Amino acid sequence: MPHRYFTDHISDTTAHLCGADAHHLGRVMRAKIGEEIILCDGKGFDYTAQITAIEPEQIKCSISDKRPCTAEPSVDVTLFVGYPKQDKLELIIQKAVELGATRIVPFFSRYCVTTPKKEDQKNQRYLRIAAEAAKQCGRGILPVVEMPLTLAQVAQQFADFDAVLFCYEKGGKPIRTYLQNAKNIAIVTGAEGGFSEQEAQSLLDAGASVIGLGPRILRCETAPIAALSAVMTLTENLE
């Protein structure tokens, strides 16, 4: 299978890789002139390219084909995730990208065990994890991992979505209830401690719809992946 890379330096006929990707392809993968690779513009298009030059700081290519990426789902899903402890967020980001999420937005709420610390540095790592997952699974865009918000800031964004699915431990209606004609969807899941009643009510007041994920209590790293998988299945994006 041809190697796959994202680049902003691309036109209908030529492209080039620079920085870490050029180093990886040229030095680590020992690419050769004439080798075929797949380039992505991050806007949903794939390009078949042939390597024409390997230089110390960049790799030049010629483009032979452009086509829409078939891996992108028909719905845009933003995942609002209560900030978990340890490295659970890294797992959530990786799997969410593989399943088709467009944005992952962590947030801090009352019962989060983790507190904000060096979030700028962490975000750079999260973006790298998202990019690697996107390349591995064949995405046509680079999903965004945003800086953490407060729960109030999350609620302020609800008006931008066709459906806001709030995963609450007290349960709610099936996910399919809210997906008819929805193209821009938000999923909200909590951290280890869940939500206080006041927080849950604030999300409902802002327009969220409570959904259920079955009779079992799911861990904070399981719930977002389960909800996202259900959305993708019900919108026929896992067929």
For the stretch 70-97, pLDDT in tens is: 999 999 999 999 999 989 999 999 999 9
Regarding whether 216 and 99 lie in a shared domain, the answer is yes
According to DSSP, residue 178 is labeled G
What are 226's two structure tokens?
């389960």
According to DSSP, residue 142 is labeled -
Q: E strand or H helix at 135, and its extent?
A: helix 119-137
Regarding whether 40 and 12 lie in a shared domain, the answer is yes
Number of separate domains in the chain: 2
Residue 160: CB atoms within 10 Å: 10
Regarding whether 134 and 39 lie in a shared domain, the answer is no
How high is the pLDDT of residue 57? 86
CB 103 within 8 A of CB 79: yes
In which residue are the tokens 């999260």 written? 126
First vs last Cα of the chain: how many Å apart? Answer: 22
Global pTM exceeds 0.75: yes
* Tens digit of each residue's pLDDT (9 = 90 or more) over 145-157: 999 999 999 999 9
Regarding whether 154 and 54 lie in a shared domain, the answer is no
Strand-by-strand arrangement of the 36-40 sheet:
4-6, 36-40, 45-54, 58-68, 14-18
Regarding whether 206 and 89 lie in a shared domain, the answer is yes
Establish if 239 belongs to a structural domain. no
- Domain of 172 in residue numbering reads as 76-234
* CATH code (residue 10): 2.40.240.20
What are 90's two structure tokens?
């890294």
How far is 215 from 238, CA to CA, in rounded Å? 24
Establish if 43 belongs to a structural domain. yes
CB 104 within 8 A of CB 146: yes
Question: Which of the listed residues 12, 40, 68 is the one where a domain comes to its end?
Answer: 68
